[in-house]
Chains A and B, each alone.
Chain A
Amino acid sequence: MPAATETTYREALQKSMFEEMDKNADIFLMGEDIGRYEGTFKVTKGFFPKYGTRRVVDTPITEAGFMGIATGAAMAGLRPIVEFMTMSFSILALDQIINHTAKIHYMSNGIVKCPIVIRGPGGAAKQLSAQHSHSLDGWYAHVPGLKVVAPATVQDVYGMLKTAIADDNPVVFYEHPRLYAMKGTLPDHEYSIPFGKAQILKEGKDISLVGYSLMSQINLAAAELLAKDGIDAEVVDIRSLLPLDTETIYRSVRKTHRAVVVYEDWKSGSFGSEIHSRISEDCFDDLDGPVGRVGGLNVPMPYSRVLELEAVTNEHHVVAAVRKLL
């Protein structure tokens, strides 16, 4: 049996970055408070002492500016990993990411490459309120030229970050603040996980719960609750929003004939809505009922814990949606 170590999602990210930075001196980190301060969520703990100011670049609080500088460095062949303290702050850099980073390759008809990883936590942590909590992954997954992934497990966050760093295209790498402390077992050998491959986290025959990032863990919790009532839910973790592996999703839906799409983003106009519409469009003949949808409330994230819990999608919302369909 291969050796494995119990580790956290955060440590898996660190291990992945350490290994890649040791191998390739063109990789460097850039972001706010990532060096001396070790990162707000401590993902970059230990990097500054090891690699120093050249490869671990503490930036001023100027998201658009450093996103652009990293993009320029990537055009010149370096391989930056940019951390946003939270992905909510990446909104300040949207013009850089969407109008510049994502379009360089196409506008130059392939003669300029932009190998860059844009990573950070997205989604609600705990009482960080309206400007630090939103899940904007769907915004990025809307943009041709970007790849967007949102791993849900310790094994995936390690292996998919490796793929992101090796990729010659800009990759938006969504972590989740509520997953950083989650534990799992990580094989002791190095590996990477290709993008565009969804996975079945739990097999089931009655209904498909489709999600990504934290919501895949929420779907596992919902499946456990449903099992107590004799409902056998299948949990489909899409892992990668762009490219999207519709085949794995459809295969599951063709097996269970029912689906609920679960996401943390605002319910209206989200990437979850996109998955929902695809299942409805492409699996119509396989469905025994309408496709369900569970999303975050369409409200700015409130501060009060009571209100926040009301706003964020949880396993009970998923269970309720399943019951409505079955």
Chain B
Amino acid sequence: MAKQAVKNSTESPAVLEQYYRDMVFLRHFEEKCNLAYRQGKVGGYMHTYIGMEALAVGWLESIKKGYDYVITAYRDHAHALLLGTDPVAVMAELMGRKDGTAGGKGGSMHLFDPERGFYGGWGIVGGHIPLGAGLAFASKYREEDRITLNFMGDGASNQGVVFETLNMAGLWDLPCIFIVENNEFAMGTRLEYHAADPELWKRGIPFDIKSERIDGMDVIQMKNDAQRIVDWVRENQKPYWVEVMTYRYAGHGAADQDRQLYRTKEEEASAWKRDPIKRLEAILLERKILTPETVEAIDAEIIEQVDKIYDAADASPHPDPSEVYDNIYTDMDVEKGH
């Protein structure tokens, strides 16, 4: 599949290298997040994107960044970073600091950057899906040609409100792409234990929504498929339902300490053979866009970059306790005191 994709790819060497750098950056950023979590710098719930990088890179390279809308659940670092949100602000938010994207009020699960079209960052599984359709509703209402990328996990695809939203998206022709990041697990529950029909791609069909399943582990293929779908939705101003097959190498969240409860080490080892970064790396080496030496140099450069991000974020102060009252409303304060 990888070889076929490379044959078909029209991307320039520079673009392919950029995809590679983006994916390596996400990988190292998330690994740093895991470290920060273990150090106690990050608290609460935190969910990394390790293993799923090709998916977000492919989709976000296919839209008009800053114009189109993007919304996702709590596994949201990659989406914000790829849209151009300051990585120091993202890391600082995870650390609950003043210079975080939300001044430490949101945390890992609630990143927002509306200036770049990013509307969160949501923690109730499936709860943000109608919000994403609402963003698409707004662009349709204003007769703009923005499209909305509305990401969810495979677990979310079972929520009632998702079906309600699909019905209205189909009924009203909302320009919204519903993207199921099928990483095979709803937290610790394997797909076949949570879905009556594990072929989640079929779920758009009853609502007259174009639906398909695609692979999300090959970034070139992912980009091509995403671009085709994005262009179709922009052109036709109708919704699309896509199941993207991927795999979460990490646990559900940083607090998920025992992956062996729901999958074997052998399964993980086998999944690592499909690592999207290694896959693109092989193509780049084969095409001599990169050499083993430049691969190493890129890796070292990005590790250093992420170290600097971490240090800058860690230098940000904690919020002042008085900030607890800020921004509940746009125009009034709440009563103070316990």
A-to-B contact residues, CB < 8 Å: 28, 54, 59-60, 62, 64-78, 95-96, 99-100, 104-113, 144-145, 147, 167-169, 196, 243
Contact with A along B131-142 (1 / 0, CB 8 A): 111111111011
Contacts between chains A and B (CB distance < 8 A), count: 148
Contact indicator B168/A73 (Cβ below 8 Å): no
For chain B, the bracket of interface size reads: 35 or more
**Assuming A64-B161, A69-B131, what are 6 further A-B pairs, CB within 8 angstroms?**
A60-B171, A76-B138, A78-B142, A107-B121, A147-B329, A168-B331
Give the contacting residue for B134; candidates A75, A110, A112, A113; CB below 8 A.
A75
With both beta carbons as reference points, the residue of chain B lying nearest to A101 in the complex is identified as B131
Let me know if A68 and B141 touch, CB within 8 A: no
Q: What are 25 A-to-B residue pairs whose CB atoms are below 8 Å? A: A64-B160, A65-B167, A68-B161, A69-B131, A69-B134, A69-B165, A72-B136, A73-B135, A75-B114, A75-B119, A75-B134, A76-B119, A76-B135, A77-B138, A96-B161, A100-B128, A106-B105, A106-B328, A107-B120, A108-B114, A108-B120, A109-B102, A109-B327, A111-B113, A147-B329
| Interface status of B334 (Cβ within 8 A of chain A) | yes
Asked if B239 is at the interface of the complex by the 8 Å CB criterion, the answer is: no
Q: Which residues of B contact A54 (CB under 8 A)?
A: 141
**Bound-state Cα–Cα, A100 to B122, Å:** 8
Q: How far is the CB of A80 from chain B (nearest CB, A)?
A: 8
Query: With an 8 A cutoff between CB atoms, is B43 at the interface?
Result: no
Contact B128 A107 (CB under 8 A): no
Contacts of A145 in B (CB 8 A): 328-329
A106 surroundings in chain B (CB, below 8 A): 105, 327-328
Task: Give chain A residues whose Cβ lies under 8 Å from the Cβ of B128.
Answer: 68, 100
Contact A100/B134 with A66-B168, A68-B161 known, Cβ cut-off 8 Å: no
| B238 → A minimal CB distance (Å) | 16
Question: B residues 287-338 with Cβ under 8 Å of A?
Answer: 326-332, 334
Do A107 and B330 touch (CB < 8 A)?
Answer: no
Structural contact, A73 and B127, CB atoms closer than 8 A: no
Given A96-B130, A100-B131, are A65 and B168 neighbors across the interface (CB < 8 Å)? yes
Please tell me which one of the listed residues A64, A100, A108, A147 contacts residue B106 in the complex, with CB atoms under 8 A apart: A108
Query: Could you tell me if B141 and A28 are in contact, using CB atoms closer than 8 angstroms?
Result: yes
B contact residues around A60 at 8 Å (CB): 164, 167-168, 171
How close is B301's CB to chain A, nearest CB, in angstroms? 31
Could you tell me the distance in whole angstroms from the C-beta of A68 to the nearest C-beta in chain B?
2
CA distance A59 to B172 in the complex (A): 10
| A145 to chain B: closest residue by CB | B328
| A76-B139, A168-B330 as given contacts; A71 in contact with B131, CB under 8 Å | yes
In the complex, the answer to whether B134 meets A108 with C-beta atoms within 8 Å is no
B240 contacts A by Cβ under 8 Å: no
Asked if A72 and B135 sit within 8 Å, CB to CB, the answer is yes
B141 to chain A minimum Cβ distance, whole angstroms, is: 6
Neighbouring A residues of B171 by C-beta, 8 Å? 60
Asked if B69 CB lies within 8 Å of chain A CBs, one says yes
B132 CB contacts on chain A under 8 angstroms: 72
User: Which chain A residues border B142 with CB–CB below 8 Å?
Assistant: 78
Min distance, Cβ A144 to any Cβ of chain B, angstroms:
5
| Pairwise interchain contact A108-B329, C-beta atoms closer than 8 A | no
| Residues B121 and A68 in contact, CB atoms below 8 Å apart | no
Q: How far is the CA of A77 from the CA of B131 in the complex (A)?
A: 13
User: Which residues of B have CB within 8 Å of A104?
Assistant: 120
Task: Determine the chain B residues whose CB is within 8 A of the CB of A105 once the complex forms.
Answer: 327-330
Q: Which residues from A are CB-within-8-Å of B133?
A: 68-69, 72
Q: Roughly how many angstroms separate A112 CA and B102 CA in the complex, as a whole number?
A: 10
Chain B residues with CB below 8 A from A69, complex form: 130-131, 133-134, 137, 165, 168
Query: Contacts A69-B168, A99-B127 known; A110 to B330 CB distance under 8 Å?
Result: yes
Contact yes or no, B135 A75, CB < 8 A: yes
Check A109/B105 contact, CB under 8 A, given A67-B130, A96-B130. yes
Contact (Cβ within 8 A) B127 A95: yes
Complex Cα distance, B123 from A59, in Å, reads: 26
Complex Cα–Cα for A62 and B141 (A): 20
Contact A107 B112 (CB under 8 A): yes
Do the beta carbons of B134 and A76 come within 8 Å of each other? yes
CA distance A104 to B123 in the complex (A): 12
**Nearest CB to that of A244 among chain B residues?**
B335
B129 within 8 A of A: yes
Cβ of B110 under 8 Å from chain A: yes
Contacts of A65 in B (CB 8 A): 130, 161, 164-165, 167-168
Contact A71 B141 (CB under 8 A): no
- Of B102, B136, B137, B139, the residue contacting A108 (CB under 8 A) is B102
Complex CA–CA separation, A211 to B178 (angstroms): 46
> Which 4 A-B pairs rank lowest in CB-CB distance, beginning with the nearest?
A72-B134, A68-B130, A65-B164, A76-B138
Is residue B271 within 8 Å, beta carbon to beta carbon, of the partner chain? no
Chain B: CB-nearest residue to A116: B134
Are B134 and A107 in contact (CB-based, < 8 A)?
no
Distance in Å: Cβ of B211 to nearest Cβ of chain A: 19
B58 interfacial by beta-carbon distance below 8 Å: no
A110 is contacted by which of B141, B168, B326 (Cβ under 8 Å)?
B326
* Distance from B10 Cβ to chain A, minimum over Cβ atoms (Å): 33
Instruction: Tell whether B103 is near chain A: CB-to-CB under 8 Å.
Output: yes
Kindly state the separation between the CA atoms of A196 and B329 in the bound complex, as whole angstroms.
Answer: 14
